Chain A
Amino acid sequence: MPDKRRSLAEAIATVPDGSCLALGGNTLHRAPAAAVHELIRQQKRDLELVKTAGAYDVDLLCGVGCVSVVSAGFVGYETVLGLAPMYRRAVESGEVEAREHACYTIIAGLRASSQGVPFMPLNGLQGSDLVSLRGFASVRDPYTGQDVVVVPAIVPDVALIHVQEADADGNARIWGSAFEDTLMARAARRVIVTAERIVDRAVLAAEPERTSIPGFLVEAVVEAPGGAWPTSCAGLYEYDLPALEQLLAVSDEPPALRTFVDERILGAVPAR
């Protein structure tokens, strides 16, 4: 296979403004932060973000004006730091459209895409206003005559996924929880993987059952040590609470936020 290793700048330069991006990880854990930081560095605009439960990644991209739509089940820093203030402000001002989903409807939409079908039936959502808010239709089951709610396919243009190990062909393995990442890799048109380290092909070949994202699905792989920082990366580092607290402390002051992003985030030597 061709060598798919790219620099972070090269890989992210292929992401056009207006793209729909699936972001791997979940809340404070294994977010594709290095890729997110590069999106900011390259001043991408009008992005749509897709994730079951986002925190730092979604919040920061909203805070620096890269986003027009967020399709997610949950955006917040959990009990650790509470609401996502930049996302919240961007939605309340009308700058960003919050397309709230249930996490399961994100999964169902990605499943439809991964299976090449236009929509996915789903059991759930009974009594929820999300059905009318999202305009989810029901169809009649041709076999039983019963109605079932259907979720349209969600087809991300690019999935951005951070993993612990990958090889030069893009074969990737995730330690611990995969969250929706392996599904995203099958639902998106293109996949960009960032990895804590690029390992020799033989390392993955010794245990192929641990490769959850096969390289043939991956367009580019970037070595990005500390690439989930300031979120956690299982087996390697925990989320960086002081950094997140410092970010949120300046999140409502645009000049201070800009300085923090430039100096601490874009200029930071990633923690390991």
Chain B
Amino acid sequence: MSANSPVRADASLVAAQMAVALARLLRDGETVFFGVASPLPMVAALLARRLHAPGLVILTIPGGVDPEPPVLPISTVDPRLLVGATALITLADVFDLAARGRLDTAFLGGVQIDRAGRINLSAIGDPKRPKVRLPGGAGSAALMPTARRTILWRTRHDTRTFVPELPFVTAAGNVDRVVTPLCVLRRVDGALDVESVHPFSSPDEVRGSTGFTVTASHETPATPPPTDEELSVLREIDPAGVVAAELQGR
């Protein structure tokens, strides 16, 4: 699809691409955490465990370790995330784990993201008297610098999201990748750049939708589309399309 094409990929296709892109980043045997309002990371972690990372240790806010939820909640604090768990810990345990260097990967989001991979989840405008009060960074300010690696995701990719300068830095730290509806960005030498462009987007679209300079050209690799196996497991894990709901939602 060319950048001039007005046709937008539908939400379930984008959601599947984002979910598999996030899942592929997870490594077998590592510990991974996702927090509030995180359906895509939840699905990605469950997907990775079923595919290439059977030894993944999945940690959540409700505290169930390695849950096997038969029905996925939309709220990622839901008691359903205790079903099948083999141990119960607390959110404080997760922060402590990260603080002592034992949390491998944290999935975090950002309403705004700058070139350094820093995020703003606090406010648009003066944070003391904001034009728009955002929900707040939840665990991100503590986890981003202490987790060994942070993977960011965002369900929008536009120049309001990817900005040259943040009005407020809610969190900064060990960002490795950012997965968006258009591409995967990777942080190298402290700056985000495009690693791969999703098959239904284009280098032009990615550059035009990013508020700081990124290099994306016809030589930039395409993100491999979901395989049949990935799609089949994704449908098993998330038959109701919770991830697509996140993309269409708020």
Contact = CB atoms under 8 A, between A and B. Distances in A.
B172 A127 contact: yes
B36 interface: yes
A103 B79 contact: no
Contacts of B245: 79
Contacts of A133: 127-128, 168
Interface in A114-146: 122-130, 133
B109 to A, nearest CB: 10
A125 B142 contact: yes
Given A79-B250, A129-B127, A129-B169, A180 B135 contact: no
A52 B92 CA distance: 10
Nearest to A52: B91
Contacts of A199: none
A179 interface: yes
A82 B137 CA distance: 14
A176 B142 contact: no
Given A123-B99, A124-B145, A129-B168, A94 B173 contact: no
A261 to B, nearest CB: 22
Contact of A107 (B91, B136, B169): B91
Contacts of B173: 126-127
Nearest to A177: B62
Q: How large is the interface on A (under 10, 10 to 19, 20 to 34, 35 or more residues)?
A: 35 or more
B141 interface: yes
A260 interface: no
Interface in B202-221: none
A127 B98 CA distance: 16
A29 B170 contact: no
Interface stretch (A68-76, A155-163, A200-208): A68-76
Nearest to A78: B37
Contacts of A72: 136
Given A73-B138, A79-B246, A234 B132 contact: no
Contacts of A127: 118, 144-145, 169, 171-173
B133 A87 contact: yes
Nearest to B76: A78
B141 A128 contact: yes
Interface string B96-140: 001110000000000000000010001100011111111111111
Nearest to A124: B142
A235 B171 CA distance: 35
Given A78-B77, A83-B250, A91-B130, A128 B138 contact: no
A84 B61 CA distance: 20
A27 interface: yes
Interface in A45-87: 52-53, 72-76, 78-84, 87
Contacts of B128: 133
Which of B129, B133, B171 has the most CB atoms of chain A within a 10 A radius of its CB?
B133
A107 B95 CA distance: 9
Nearest to A235: B79
A250 interface: no
B172 A79 contact: no
A177 B81 CA distance: 10
B75 A80 contact: yes
Contacts of A176: 62, 79, 82, 88
B19 to A, nearest CB: 14
B212 to A, nearest CB: 18
Contacts of B88: 176-177
Contacts of B181: none
9 contacts: A29-B75, A98-B136, A104-B139, A127-B169, A129-B168, A130-B137, A177-B64, A177-B82, A180-B92
Interface of A: 26-29, 52-53, 72-76, 78-84, 87-88, 91-92, 94, 98, 100-105, 107, 111, 122-130, 133, 176-180, 183, 232, 234-235, 239
Given A27-B36, A28-B77, A92-B132, 19 more contacts: A29-B75, A29-B79, A74-B137, A76-B136, A88-B132, A100-B122, A101-B136, A107-B91, A122-B99, A122-B142, A126-B145, A126-B173, A127-B144, A130-B137, A176-B79, A177-B62, A178-B63, A180-B90, A239-B75
Closest 6 CB pairs of A and B: A82-B250, A127-B172, A124-B142, A104-B142, A76-B135, A234-B79
